[in-house]
A = this chain, B = another copy of it.
Amino acid sequence: MKKVGVAILGLGVVGGGTYRILESHREFYQKTQNVDIFVESVLEIKREKALALGVPEEKIASNIAEVVADPDVQIVVEVIGGIEAAREYVLAALHAGKTVVTSNKELYCKYSHELEAAAKRHNAGLYYEGSCVGGVPIIRTLLDGLQANGIESVVGIINGTTNYILTKMGNEGASYEDALKEAQALGYAEADPSSDVDGYDASYKLSILASLAFHTKIPLSQVYREGIASVSAEDVRYGKQLGYVLKLLAVGKNTAEGIEVRVHPAFVPASHPLASVNDAFNAVLVHGDAVGDVMLYGRGAGELPTGSAVVSDVIYAATHSENKYSPFKNSEEAEKDVKFVSDFKSCYYLRMTVTDHAGVLGKIASALGKFGVSVGELIQERNRGAGTATLVLVTHGTAESAIRNAAAKIDELDIAKVDAVLRVAF
């Protein structure tokens, strides 16, 4: 039986999960995959972490040079996270001809050109299923399951922290601040939650997924990004009243006009399959020109789910002899002939405070109409005692620029103040 030695760099959440899965499933893989995969070494600054996991002392390496010099290591798993050390170590492993499996979305998103080139040069494998949507095998699906299709769109809920917060706000009417605090208490959100709540994490993943789906490099700089920190309980509630659920969506579209990639909160109709993706679950909806809609759903993060993705890559690498590289021209920036759409079309949700006088609604409708914006749904509620009303409306499909202009125009009227603008998807 073929023997394959693995080194694990970093024993944090995902590294620990990877180690535990490999150890507990060694015999299972011998039986089911006809390969003996064993952990040859681990690299972890905090030795006590390794010892606590049960790693034998002699398997704890002192530095990356030792790991890559070991001829019994065929696959190096990078689960350190961050950029500096991770990039250096991955390049060292690739230069030594080792296959690399990484779950590092930021690294792969920002440096795929460099990593793919190094892998190719040294005939080493490079795998990154764990970088996107935890245990959900969306990358393998794009590469080997739906590759017969021209992919027209990839739309997903691909950040568990924000989905937990928005689920809490939607189901319990919690404020953003309270929901965030609870997510932090449960370990779903970090002390500095910016990477999640400001949409960075989802942007890295969308850049990777859209690049694969559309067969061209989508640099991070092209991904429009808006987080959930300014989402109010009020808007979640009004949306619910209109039959919508608020989600942090990652949207990638490939249309005749160009490619559109954006991460932002958006209302989703309650009957849509993505609307019922709750808590820390993730889902990705892919639309292919032959297959139509396909959705993959599962845990987007966590020790064992992400470990499952990492170990599945390890097994794939151990049981396939060919190394495949990014299936498109891989460069730091987008290819010159690829167009991007920035003024994308959507339906919009607007909430405004208006003076409670006759004729106000007409003036607002006419301001919207000036920019070609028409209204599909509307709620008006009187704010008793304040002399104002709250007006909530959902427009028909329109360009982002038209909404921005219309909102500015409405503010100029001095009879209304636009308090919130949110997109409505599907």
Interface residues, chain A, with chain B CB atoms under 8 Å away: 17, 21, 25, 28, 31-34, 129, 134-137, 140-141, 144-150, 215, 273, 276, 288, 290-299, 304-305, 307-312, 314-316, 319-322, 324, 327-328
Pick from B17, B273, B328: contact of A290, CB below 8 A: B17
Whether A294 contacts B141 by the Cβ 8 Å rule is: no
Rounded to whole angstroms, the CA-CA distance of A305 and B289 in the bound complex is: 9
Contacts of A314 in B (CB 8 A): 148
21 A-B pairs in the complex with CB atoms less than 8 angstroms apart: A32-B328, A129-B145, A135-B294, A140-B145, A141-B141, A141-B145, A144-B312, A144-B316, A148-B308, A148-B314, A288-B308, A290-B307, A292-B299, A292-B305, A293-B299, A294-B297, A295-B298, A319-B324, A320-B320, A321-B321, A321-B322
Whether A296 contacts B293 by the Cβ 8 Å rule is: no
Closest Cβ of chain B to A208, distance in Å, is 16
Whether B21 contacts A148 by the Cβ 8 Å rule is: yes
Contacts of A290 in B (CB 8 A): 17, 21, 135, 304-305, 307-308, 311
Contacts of A288 in B (CB 8 A): 135, 308
Whether B291 contacts A304 by the Cβ 8 Å rule is: yes
Whether A25 contacts B150 by the Cβ 8 Å rule is: yes
A-B complex: 7 closest residue pairs judged by Cβ atoms: A137-B145, A135-B291, A148-B311, A294-B298, A291-B308, A290-B308, A295-B297
Rounded to whole angstroms, the CA-CA distance of A321 and B323 in the bound complex is: 11
- The complex is assembled from copies of this chain, and their number is 2
Whether A135 contacts B327 by the Cβ 8 Å rule is: no
Contacts of A149 in B (CB 8 A): 308
Contacts of A316 in B (CB 8 A): 144, 147
Contacts of A321 in B (CB 8 A): 321-322
Whether B295 contacts A146 by the Cβ 8 Å rule is: no
Residue among A137, A215, A292 with max Cβ neighbours from chain B (10 Å): A137
Rounded to whole angstroms, the CA-CA distance of A136 and B292 in the bound complex is: 10
Whether B299 contacts A145 by the Cβ 8 Å rule is: no
Residue among A33, A273, A290 with max Cβ neighbours from chain B (10 Å): A290
Rounded to whole angstroms, the CA-CA distance of A276 and B146 in the bound complex is: 23
Pick from B134, B148, B305: contact of A312, CB below 8 A: B148
Closest Cβ of chain B to A233, distance in Å, is 23
A328 nearest in chain B by CB position: B32
Rounded to whole angstroms, the CA-CA distance of A32 and B145 in the bound complex is: 14
Contacts of A129 in B (CB 8 A): 145
Residue among A288, A307, A308, A309 with max Cβ neighbours from chain B (10 Å): A308
